[in-house]
Structure 1
């Protein structure tokens, strides 16, 4: 892989690629696709809750919880596309839909997550600027591992083994972080978003504990939220984990910063749907406002262009991507072992 520390910048490289993509019409909006996808999601969401009410007091509700976890994650993917304005042209329409789907339907703060995700896109895998590689429970570089204390230091020793079990807590973390962000006076649309989050919690918990006895209700929550977090985390892990982690010494132009820190996952239609089409992570990072169904068409153009200009372009299978990510996490923890 080309070194991420090069100081040479070639802004015109991205301009030429962008011209090729625009000429292919891949930045054009796809209203029919997104209308169809939203309709399917709405039917699946309300269908799952209807099934939940119909099944009633039964252990079969654990299967409903598993299916509902998938639907929640798919709504999260759609909200992601809204945040990048792939669906609607205006910010107002995107914000309205994002708050309804994010805050009200799945209980994740739209404003907080959108701000955090935009910071990630601006500086992917950057130790100082990307919130997705900031050391919390998991550490992402040997420097972070050596400076860790307490629980992160304990986990970092064998964090590759802890990674997927910890993802079962990811949904709870996102819910709590959403509420915490809205407690800050500087939060935008604070009242509206907080009201929608509280409404989600009241409706969600109220419905579950009304239909199920306490024991089954608690188990339903554990299964549903655990699988929801595991699914979300498992779809985002292949994208950047195990790729070069940048520091302030690394000076890269836009194209190289996005390509060298991202990894694509090859596959067919099933893989595209399962990963929310974020398996085309390189293309998505280069053109974040490109409609999701166009990413597959952009992939060969971007890959060929990177080969022409000598930029390393990484694409692997799904399980190989997990192996690379977990291998990196284990290597990072080596000094502590």
Structure 2
């Protein structure tokens, strides 16, 4: 076997190198082809280093090709797999084109490939001289994969399962503690998973009316609305207390945007007064939300 003094392609130390990749072309006697040797290919100082380098190369090539994910019936990747691929992307990190460049041998330092961010000139990765295809793949995949996702994802979405999730009420409702808190309707899916349905004041009242009168034929005898006012001046009428309070708070914050506000509600008549924290005291602001009962029909007896 022909021996040269050169840098080992694995350990990069200058030694006698007489082993070549197992994939090197050979003549009919099993010897490395002379024309191949004349091209000064990568050589190794031992069989162990040759085998280790071959193993690394084969592993890298396998990783580059990858195991194709199983498509769905429409020939597309499913949404979960697309999301996995999307999560692996770099986003805006060194956005713009990347390139694969070869750096020539410099003195005792062997040549190598590098992946470069073209706009900034930053070297993002360096690879040994036999890994040129991997460097090229890295540069191309940086732009190609997001482009493929942009094309593939909408098509996959069209074939996604649109079967509604069936849940049943678990006979538990957690009521809100404050005006801005949601009511939680506890449910269970068919597979036992817990599901929480969140309802704000408006939707809680809407679903309550639907349950009481599914056909919408029967009008309620009375309806409660809420009046927002400031110093007896009516600002608006709302079907929920939360909406009326929101109006009051918005007007108050126009003059004092950072003030700390709170509501004090009378338990007997439900009238809520907006107060502002001044030092350690709470002072009235003049904003009030008053519940009003509106009848759906005239009651002659009630007028007597």
- Under TM normalisation by the shorter chain, which class is it? under 0.3
TM-score (norm 1): 0.21
TM-score (norm 2): 0.23
More strand by share: 2
